[in-house]
Amino acid sequence: MEDGPVLSAVCKTVVANAVTTILKAVGEDPQREGLLKTPDRVARAYDELLIGYSIDPLTVLNDALFDVTYSEMVIVNDIDFYSLCEHHMLPFIGKAHVAYIPDKKVVGLSKIPRIVEVFARRLQIQERMTRQIADTIEELLNPLGVAVVIDGMHMCMAMRGVKKSNARMRTSALLGTFAHNSKTRSEFMEHIGPISRVQL
């Protein structure tokens, strides 16, 4: 195995060996055809799924800031994300909705989904991820306000434990005018609408 963006070749071997141990522990035969390459595949998958650890979120935005005279709400909604719950290392997936009100600077459109991706591709909890996205945008743009709402479906709740497959979680982080001005906050919430189970 080769060094990856997150895991070195040595670390991938450690992960692969751990997967082999798990397979044996549950009564499987790691040498059967279907599982023969599974440990290596899992190691490579984690290198991809956790790539957010290797990216500085501030550098994602730094080269895409533009001076613009614009002070209306900018919204990027329905940003797909895939993350891993840090409690069970099972996926949680959903959509992020991000808005900000510029104060002299705007950021390139594609950078907002990139910020979501950076924080999603780590071991996470949805509440922290929501706040990290908002704080990063605020730090770099210094806007009049930032709003982040995330709708998530958690496999750790759907597949195990309470087994509630229809439950969805919505978290929000509201900064600046979104926190202090109910009209601005309501406008944003109207734009993103209710949680859609079809979309998740």
Catalytic residues: 85-88, 126, 154, 156
Distances in Å between the alpha carbon of 59 and those of 38, 114, 150? 34, 11, 23
Q: How many CB atoms lie within 10 A of CB 95?
A: 20
d(CA 92, CA 158): 10
- In the chain, the amino acid numbered 121 is R
User: Which DSSP letter does residue 54 get?
Assistant: G
Instruction: Answer for the pair 72, 177: CB distance below 8 angstroms, yes or no.
Output: no
* Residue 123 φ then ψ, to 5°: -70, 125
Tokens in use for 111? 């950078």
Q: Characterize the bridge pairing of strands 123-124 and 91-101.
A: unpaired
